[in-house]
Structure 1
Amino acid sequence: MAARSSAATMRRVSLRNLAAHKIRLVLTVLAVVLGTAFIAGSLMFTSSLQKTFDTLTESTTRGIDVVVSAPQSGSSLPLDLGDDLAGIPGVDKVNLSDQVTVVVATEKDGTQETLQTGGAPAFAMPWYEPDDAVGPETGIVDGTSPRGPDEVAVNSTAAESHDLTVGQKLTVVDASGSHPVTISGIYDIDIDGGGFLGLMMDEPAFVDTFTDGSTGNEFSLAATPGTSPDTLASQVSDSLAADHPELGDVDVKTGAQVGEEQAAQIDEALSFVNYFLIAFGLIALVVGTFIIANTFSMIVAQRMREFALLRSLGVASRQLTVSVVFEAVIVGIVGSLLGVLAGIGLTQVIYAVIGSTGAGLPNTGVDITVGSVLLPLVLGVIVTVLSAWAPARRAGAVRPVEAMRSGDQSSRSPLRGRTTVGVVLFLLGVAAALVGVLLSGSGTGPRAALVGVGALGVILGTFLLSPALSIPVVRGIGGVVGAPFGQVGRLAATNSGRNPRRTATTAFALTLGVALVACIGMLGASMKASISGFIGDSVQSDYVLSGPSNGAFPVPQSALDAVREVDGVEAATGFGFLPVTVGGFSGGTGVIEGDPTVSGGLVAAEGDLSLDAPGVIADEEVAASEGWTVGDELPLTVRMPDGPEREIGEATLQGTYEPNELFGQHLVSWSALEPLAAQVGGGASANIYAVFVNGDGSIDADTLRDRLEEATADQIVVQVLTPEEYAGEQAVLIDQMLNVLYALLALAVIVAVLGIINTLALNVIERRQEIGMLRAVGALRGQVRRMITLEAVQISLYGALVGVVIGLGLGWAFLEVLAGEGLTETAVPWGQVVGMVVASGVVGVVAAAWPAVKASRVRPLEAIAD
């Protein structure tokens, strides 16, 4: 009974202590909120996306009983198969359900302006009147149905977002070329939303304009009343097997099965996004852990007198420990609950940002699941309690008489043991990373794992030895930074080194964030340098024509044809890809339409590289390893969905070239593949992703560029670039990817900044007497503010410098391991590194703003009397 009464008393003491120190409570809770908010937001965002895509999948398959598609992704079916499908018993209606990716532009102020969809798809599709359509209901709400190759109907949300009206003229570009059309009508569809742009052209005109005229990819079927989708699918399969054995295993599925497959693919994609976002949430939580631990350490240090009094009144050591842990549980629960609420807001913000780019999705609301609430709640509480455990044990172990002394006792504990363990872990981490780098004969996976283990050792070792390291380094930084401020600067340098444990823990949150940014920055710089290097070696033509910088759209065939007619052009060659395997070697196949030597980067090893006759050329190392010799007939095969490959023809090996990273293992001439295009989904042309152009010398480079741009002006997706500009365009994709990572890592840096604010604010509370004494002996408010600000700058710079060293070291190790994967260059983003260090100094100034003002307002006599 007495034990229960004592426990209840300690709980009341803990609750009153939390209520009495509101600022301290808010600062501690804030660190928990940030980490848990990101995890909660990640889970809710992916759950909401899942709900949205489930709705879209259900809508897109509504009204479709059976789907008949080509046996392999990218392959085709004959268009006249639609008539045969319509004659199968149980089939009511048949629609060609092809979707062709397009880019659309409209004329504004005399210039063509591309309609930006912000990443959402833009498709051209066949139009069927409502009575003949299979699938979701589509109805004209303004204007008339499209008729002929010059008219299209546009979905209502796209018309609204782009201010499109009936009668407006558009330019539509696909892989074959550009097509001028007029909007005849605007239609509604129940799955409309986001940035989606859907153009519909009546079915005969669509076939003539957007297909090769003889093949398509997919048919949608509606069953007659009384016929179930499963029954119809079975009947269609049997009929195709009997009447069209030449088509092979045509894919016949019910609409429900197609929807389930789409949902499974979306689940897989979203699970990756979820893991990715949660990983960064955990990084923020780890950074927050250091801040929470630091905060509880300071709180325990400040409350030593209080604990001493409780011990002298008979409170047991275990009760004090439990009391501090109880406070941590309260902080963890409150912070985690607020984090979940913040996660809801974060999800709304993400949707709003996506919507502002025009790539928004139909908003089905934030989907709050049990997991998205419980996981961050449990994680937040566990992390908070673990962070408070060591300070709680110190509180319980305090001796009453010793605790009566003023000052922070934690600063007086020896660092020898901690530093020794830290040095050992650091050296073991470095050794593991070096072993991973030096094992050049092993696979990339095991070597990367060794570097990963080394990184963990380095980070943990740095954390443990950081207090000892901070003593000379922070004072050195303080000497440089504080020199212009005289005595105030020297005092700030002394204060920063007075409690190395606290300084190191505060700085380490920033160290971790900066290290990650530096490592990723080095990886990105090296990727861009590698791309520039191999493109510089591979592309030496006068100009390169390419599609949009995101690489999602090819150069239209008509652009290649137009460029070849330009006065001053000697030769133009198109380079693309098709899903064909050469000689059984599964290395991917490049397709060349024209002379590949126009690129300027191919160096012949044997034979002729011009491909002036149907054939193939190959990397000399690949040819040697496969036993190919010039003149051999190599089989061209296509891999089927169920695994086996089907031979579709042969091509003669006309020559070999020295290894070339841009062109890969082999190049097949389009003249060799064109007769086989229907079997590999090539249609009337290959997808061209670059056109290499050389002038004949009759005009200067600028005039040639002007003529090329004029010839491709109506091909709105085409860019005319020098080889250097082309390399830069490829690097843009890397920057876009890295910007996403940096935005996520910014959260860890924000948490670190709040940690510095937190530490400084609590430091000011702890040093109230000291600051009061300084004010009493004549220190001005401005001098106190400068002192606190300089301390923050020193801590920030120390954390940033250590982070840069760790990040660049680990970045180098990972790059050495990845050298065999195409990262041939190692580059250090020095501008970014210097920028991070300078920014860290600014972070210190910002972080110190509120604590410095608070310190300057301390009343001397009241503080001394405490």
Structure 2
Amino acid sequence: MTAMSTARAASSAASTMRRVSLRNLAGHKVRLVLTVLAVVLGTAFISGALMFTASLSRTFDTLSESTTKGVDVTVTPDEATGRPLPLEIGDILADAPGVAKVNNSTQTTVVVSHDGTTLQTGGAPAFATAWYPGNDQVGPATTLTDGDAPVGDDQVVVNSSAADKDHISVGDALTVVDTGGVHEVTVSGIYDIDVDGGGFIGLMMEQDAYLSTFTDGRTATGFALAADPGVSQEQLKADVTTDLADAGVNGVEVKTGQQSADEQSDAIDEALSFVNYFLIAFGLVALVVGTFIIANTFSMIVAQRTREFALLRSLGVSSRQLTTSVVGEAVVVGVIGALVGVAAGAGLTKLIYTVIGSTGAGLPDTGVQATAGSVVTPLILGVLVTVVSAWAPARRAGAVRPVEAMRSGDMSSASSLRGRTVTGAVLLVLGVVAALAGVLFDDSGTGNRAVLVGLGALGVLLGTFLVSAAMAVPVVPAIGRVIGAPFRSVGRLASTSSSRNPRRTATTAFALTLGIALVAVFGMLGASMKASISGLVDNTVSSDLVLYGPSDGSFPIPTQALDAARDVDGVTEVSGFGLAPVTLGGTASDSIVSSGFGSGYFVGDPRVTGEVTEVQGSVDLTGEGFIASESAAQRNGWTIGEEVPLDTAVPGADAREIGTVALLGTYEDNDLLGDQVISWASIAPHMDAGEFGSGMYSQPMLFAAFVDGDIPLDDLRDRLEDATDQFIVVQVLTPSEFAGTQAVFVDQMLNVLYALLALAVIVAVLGIVNTLALNVIERRQEIGMLRAVGTSRGQVRRMITLEAVQISLYGAVVGVVVGLALGWAFLKVLAGEGLDTIAVPWGQVVGMIVASGVIGVVAAAWPAVKAARTPPLEAIAD
């Protein structure tokens, strides 16, 4: 009986505390919303990232399935060799048992211009391929909807989605550019194709004309087969494999259409996994920032409810029950925030798809894919982060004695900061030591040094957080005195108020510190990358002008553009610099073009670039051979005249020796040329023979061309632009403009990173709003007293606003200092990878500090109005 009574009493007490928790949450809806928002933003980002990648995966699966529709078997080059297939294999396949139709599935990447405008695809492909009449087509059905089938090498048919989007009609002229040159064609017809999705540009040309115009006329990248009625994909695969083996054909892969679709999907999923991890990382950053907000919020809530807790303790509620009650409130906040975050993530995914659709990419609409992981993962993380953040305040709520708790106020503020500060100082010193070790131990390898700096950064951030409360005691009032000076007594009140609770101030500010520090690190990385690129170009390129392809690097310079440039009156010399999938004796080059893959090649004399200094032999690459930097030649033991093995380096294929080349000369180390450069005369025969497979590396990949002339620069530029205008993709740039195009990639990367980091800053702003709002509630009597003695509403608003600006500026200044220090450390580690110039974006630094002040003003808007509206007599009576 006693045990049963005890159980009933415990159950009754638990039920009572649940009601107290729920009523407390219901009675403070605004406070609940602000706290929930901190959870919502982080979980929405994580949920959205998971849903977005799942949706993209499903979209591309659908696209792969539709593009392989009607294909029963594919025959492609063996991945081990990657060599293209002789066209004669098509005849063998046509005679194989069970084969109804065979199509050459080769596609050539192109750029298309219509009425002088280069057509954009929003990331979808633009290609030329062979036209097969409806009954002969293998794969998605194509149907002419207007005009006639193409005839000869000057007619094409265009897909209807591209024709509609770009206003192309039968009879229109198109300029088509591939890596070989320019082709002027006329649209003879418009066709529909049965695939899910649009956005692409598909030009189809009569079969023989396509092979002679856009390929080498001897090889194909693959064949697509359709089976006779009643023959399964597996049966056809077996029959074709046997037939090819009997004919002595090797170096091919035979797959069913379903296998090909599955492999495409697997490759896409693997590529998307990086995107997934990348986006989730930024969602976790937002959640980490949110932990400070949630912890601060619950600390203030506990402080404000001390009288309530005292009464509950006096009525027999145990410490454990009080702690459990506060944790229960945190669970509710976490669950609500995570559920709203999941819904917001779905909305975010839908919004992204809408934006992608507006670019004309034409992805099929498969809807938002809400997988179990995209729902469960953010739910668990949201609840876990909230509970962990609220645990310390919850324990503090349960630890106070009834009599001590009868006074209101934040109990944490009364305790000494000594222990926290000492611990923080130790972590800070250890972090600095680890980071400096990574910077100074330059024999340990970049990877190991980066790990040391990373561990040091973690120690610095943790140490800064713990020390920042003690730092806030002198620094925040000092900031307050400076910005508050024009406001006299109101400014003095604001500086005094913000230093009352250094823990609260430091925690609120650190949320902003973390976001600003990351922005500063990436900003410094970007500025240094751009400075390094500019310095590299300044030190290695002194030609008059540079011919360059699209700024996004999506298409090389057509080889015919070099011939056109040479024929320009006033041009004295032209030299093209490209990338070839080869190594010398297994050694790849390391330049801004190759980045450790393959080797650079020159069409012409590399000295046209301007800064190539001969050491031994000759660096003229107009004939066969290669040249190497002095250090690379010494490292590999190469001597002038020595024949070095030339090996293929096609990604995904085995390396093969395809010949030898002689070392013609050496040059002083040069970042643009890298370790070694091969002559085009040594590469071209192997490319013509199909030694480099059937993909993108089977065509010349000209990175840039360098031009010198003997006429005024402006005249030279005008003439070159006129001569190369037909090639669509070619830009004529000065060396400084050329350096600027390389910086475009850096700016694009930084814009993405800043957009993602903006989430952490938004969470920090919510934290300042939350802290100020709860602070106004806590200081209700004080504000009422100020109003009673004559302080106007405007002065109260200014006081709260100044407090917010002080907190924001403090967080921003600390963030900038920490971010620049960590950025310097990481850049010193990356110096060996080509980032040899460290630049500080001072304009951005000043901008961040100014913006933090604006953030403070914005964050204070609602709490300041709420404080100004406090009724003086009611507040004093509380």
Aligned partner of 2:148: which letter? Answer: T
Aligned partner of 2:636: which letter? Answer: E
Question: Are 1:181 and 2:182 matched, yes or no?
Answer: no
1:613-652 aligned at under 5 Å gives the runs 613-639=623-649, 644-652=654-662
Aligned to 1:259: 261
1:669-688 aligned at under 5 Å gives the runs 669-677=679-687, 678-681=690-693, 686-688=700-702
In 1, Cα distance between equivalents of 2:704 and 2:651: 29
Unaligned residue ranges in structure 2 (runs of 5+): 1-7, 590-597
Aligned partner of 1:320: which letter? Answer: L
Q: Percent identity?
A: 67
Question: Are 1:35 and 2:42 matched, yes or no?
Answer: yes
In 2, Cα distance between equivalents of 1:235 and 1:674: 37
Aligned to 1:327: 329
Aligned to 2:705: 691
Aligned to 1:26: 33
Give, in angstroms, the shift of residue 402 of structure 1.
2.1
1:344-355 aligned at under 5 Å gives the runs 344-355=346-357
Corresponding residue to 1:597 among 607, 619, 630: 607
In 2, Cα distance between equivalents of 1:547 and 1:802: 43
What is the DSSP-based 3-state SS (H/G/I as helix, E as strand, rest coil) of the residue aligned with 1:26?
A: helix
What is the DSSP-based 3-state SS (H/G/I as helix, E as strand, rest coil) of the residue aligned with 1:50?
A: helix
Contact map agreement 2:650 2:692 (CA 8 A) in 1? no
In 2, Cα distance between equivalents of 1:616 and 1:534: 22
Aligned partner of 2:612: which letter? Answer: L
In 1, Cα distance between equivalents of 2:268 and 2:815: 37
In 1, Cα distance between equivalents of 2:763 and 2:676: 50
What is the DSSP-based 3-state SS (H/G/I as helix, E as strand, rest coil) of the residue aligned with 1:679?
A: coil
Aligned partner of 2:135: which letter? Answer: D
Aligned to 1:357: 359
Corresponding residue to 2:758 among 743, 746, 749: 746
In 2, Cα distance between equivalents of 1:50 and 1:762: 44
Contact map agreement 1:82 1:96 (CA 8 A) in 2? yes
In 1, Cα distance between equivalents of 2:253 and 2:648: 16
Give, in angstroms, the shift of residue 519 of structure 1.
0.5
Give, in angstroms, the shift of residue 734 of structure 1.
1.1
Give, in angstroms, the shift of residue 226 of structure 1.
3.7
Change (3 A) 1:639 1:240: farther
In 2, Cα distance between equivalents of 1:604 and 1:389: 69
After superposition, give the CA deviation of every residue in 1:561-599 in whole Å (9 maximum; x if it has no partner): 100100000011111112122223234211211111111
Change (3 A) 1:150 1:662: same
After superposition, give the CA deviation of every residue in 1:704-754 in whole Å (9 maximum; x if it has no partner): 000000101111111000111111101101111111111111111111111
Corresponding residue to 1:660 among 650, 656, 670: 670
Aligned to 2:393: 391
Give, in angstroms, the shift of residue 123 of structure 1.
1.4
What is the DSSP-based 3-state SS (H/G/I as helix, E as strand, rest coil) of the residue aligned with 2:122?
A: coil
1:747-762 aligned at under 5 Å gives the runs 747-762=759-774
In 2, Cα distance between equivalents of 1:816 and 1:595: 35
Per mean C-alpha deviation after superposition, the further-off stretch among 156-165 and 748-757 is 156-165
Aligned to 1:46: 53
Aligned to 1:121: 125
Per mean C-alpha deviation after superposition, the further-off stretch among 400-409 and 791-800 is 400-409
Aligned to 2:725: 713
Contact map agreement 2:575 2:608 (CA 8 A) in 1? yes
Aligned to 1:94: 102
1:564-583 aligned at under 5 Å gives the runs 564-583=566-585
After superposition, give the CA deviation of every residue in 1:227-283 in whole Å (9 maximum; x if it has no partner): 3333433443444445455xx522332222222221111111111111111111111
In 1, Cα distance between equivalents of 2:395 and 2:165: 61
Contact map agreement 2:581 2:650 (CA 8 A) in 1? no
Corresponding residue to 1:220 among 210, 215, 224: 224
In 1, Cα distance between equivalents of 2:726 and 2:649: 37
Change (3 A) 1:519 1:360: farther
Per mean C-alpha deviation after superposition, the further-off stretch among 524-533 and 721-730 is 524-533
What is the DSSP-based 3-state SS (H/G/I as helix, E as strand, rest coil) of the residue aligned with 2:443?
A: coil
Aligned to 1:785: 797
What is the DSSP-based 3-state SS (H/G/I as helix, E as strand, rest coil) of the residue aligned with 1:140?
A: strand
Contact map agreement 2:577 2:601 (CA 8 A) in 1? yes
In 1, Cα distance between equivalents of 2:869 and 2:147: 71
Question: Are 1:704 and 2:704 matched, yes or no?
Answer: no
Aligned partner of 1:179: which letter? Answer: H
Aligned partner of 2:190: which letter? Answer: I
In 2, Cα distance between equivalents of 1:11 and 1:520: 46
Aligned to 2:857: 845
What is the DSSP-based 3-state SS (H/G/I as helix, E as strand, rest coil) of the residue aligned with 2:397?
A: helix
Give, in angstroms, the shift of residue 158 of structure 1.
2.1
Contact map agreement 2:573 2:707 (CA 8 A) in 1? yes
Contact map agreement 2:305 2:408 (CA 8 A) in 1? no
Aligned partner of 1:832: which letter? Answer: Q
Contact map agreement 2:48 2:346 (CA 8 A) in 1? yes
Contact map agreement 2:63 2:197 (CA 8 A) in 1? no
Aligned partner of 2:760: which letter? Answer: A
Aligned partner of 1:47: which letter? Answer: A
So what's the TM-score if we normalise by structure 1?
0.97
What is the DSSP-based 3-state SS (H/G/I as helix, E as strand, rest coil) of the residue aligned with 2:588?
A: coil
What is the DSSP-based 3-state SS (H/G/I as helix, E as strand, rest coil) of the residue aligned with 1:367?
A: coil
What is the DSSP-based 3-state SS (H/G/I as helix, E as strand, rest coil) of the residue aligned with 1:116?
A: coil
Give, in angstroms, the shift of residue 189 of structure 1.
2.2
Corresponding residue to 1:57 among 55, 64, 78: 64
What is the DSSP-based 3-state SS (H/G/I as helix, E as strand, rest coil) of the residue aligned with 1:680?
A: coil
What is the DSSP-based 3-state SS (H/G/I as helix, E as strand, rest coil) of the residue aligned with 2:57?
A: helix
What is the DSSP-based 3-state SS (H/G/I as helix, E as strand, rest coil) of the residue aligned with 2:176?
A: strand
In 2, Cα distance between equivalents of 1:693 and 1:77: 38
Aligned to 1:405: 407
Corresponding residue to 2:78 among 34, 53, 71: 71
Corresponding residue to 2:207 among 187, 190, 203: 203
Contact map agreement 2:82 2:653 (CA 8 A) in 1? no
Contact map agreement 1:640 1:646 (CA 8 A) in 2? no
Instruction: Tell me the matched-pair count.
Output: 858
Contact map agreement 1:137 1:189 (CA 8 A) in 2? yes
Aligned partner of 2:157: which letter? Answer: A
Change (3 A) 1:642 1:297: closer
Contact map agreement 1:436 1:448 (CA 8 A) in 2? yes
Aligned to 1:305: 307
Question: Are 1:104 and 2:115 matched, yes or no?
Answer: no
Contact map agreement 2:582 2:650 (CA 8 A) in 1? no
In 1, Cα distance between equivalents of 2:299 and 2:558: 65
Question: Are 1:156 and 2:163 matched, yes or no?
Answer: no
Give, in angstroms, the shift of residue 759 of structure 1.
0.9
1:728-747 aligned at under 5 Å gives the runs 728-747=740-759
So what's the TM-score if we normalise by structure 2?
0.95
Per mean C-alpha deviation after superposition, the further-off stretch among 416-425 and 258-267 is 258-267
Corresponding residue to 2:93 among 74, 85, 91: 85
What is the DSSP-based 3-state SS (H/G/I as helix, E as strand, rest coil) of the residue aligned with 2:576?
A: strand
Give, in angstroms, the shift of residue 397 of structure 1.
1.1
Contact map agreement 2:62 2:196 (CA 8 A) in 1? no
Aligned partner of 1:115: which letter? Answer: L
Corresponding residue to 1:445 among 444, 447, 453: 447
Question: Are 1:812 and 2:819 matched, yes or no?
Answer: no
Change (3 A) 1:590 1:641: closer
Give, in angstroms, the shift of residue 555 of structure 1.
0.7
Give, in angstroms, the shift of residue 617 of structure 1.
1.1
In 2, Cα distance between equivalents of 1:259 and 1:192: 14
Contact map agreement 2:121 2:360 (CA 8 A) in 1? yes
Aligned to 1:17: 24
In 1, Cα distance between equivalents of 2:649 and 2:875: 80
Per mean C-alpha deviation after superposition, the further-off stretch among 732-741 and 666-675 is 666-675
Aligned partner of 2:187: which letter? Answer: I
Aligned to 2:594: none
| Aligned alpha-carbon RMSD (Å) | 1.7
1:532-611 aligned at under 5 Å gives the runs 532-587=534-589, 588-611=598-621
Aligned to 2:776: 764
Contact map agreement 1:157 1:192 (CA 8 A) in 2? no
In 1, Cα distance between equivalents of 2:296 and 2:65: 51
Change (3 A) 1:175 1:644: closer
